[in-house]
Amino acid sequence: MSSTSEKPHLTSSDLDMLQGVLDEAGYDARILIDDQRVFNVAAVLLIRLFQEGVTSPAMLSKALEYHFGKPKEPPKPVTPICNRYAIQGLPRERRAAG
């Protein structure tokens, strides 16, 4: 039995790259476990994959998409079909005669 760890140590540049993958994906899912500590599931997945040898940001992004789906895009602003007077049942504004 060996006393050395088979998992590589993460450097600060490795962590920066992993954080960049998370930021680009817009992923911030969290779970609460019994001892009240919060773990970022996506970060745990990326670290595990990185330690298993997946070091490409593109492949890590694809893994996030595979496990969690694509991030939802913010909703588009709603443009009303009717003007506010029709919606509120108000009479139309009258133009001043001049």
The verdict on residue 16 lying in a domain is yes
Q: Which pLDDT score, from 0 to 100, does residue 62 have?
A: 93
Return the sign of the alpha-carbon dihedral for residues 76, 82, 85, 87.
negative
Sorting pLDDT into bands at 50, 70 and 90, what band is 1? very low
The verdict on residue 87 lying in a domain is no
- pLDDT per residue over 26-46, tens digit each? 765 555 555 545 467 888 899
- pLDDT per residue over 54-82, tens digit each? 999 999 999 988 987 876 665 566 665 66
Structurally, the chain folds into a number of domains equal to: 1
- 30 forms beta bridges with 40
Return the sign of the alpha-carbon dihedral for residues 18, 23, 24, 26.
positive
In 3D, which of 68, 50, 71 has the Cα closest to residue 59?
50
The verdict on residue 73 lying in a domain is no
The verdict on residue 2 lying in a domain is no
Query: 58 lies in which domain range?
Result: 12-68
Instruction: Look up the pTM and report it.
Output: 0.58
Cβ neighbours of 45 (radius 10 Å): 18
The verdict on residue 41 lying in a domain is yes
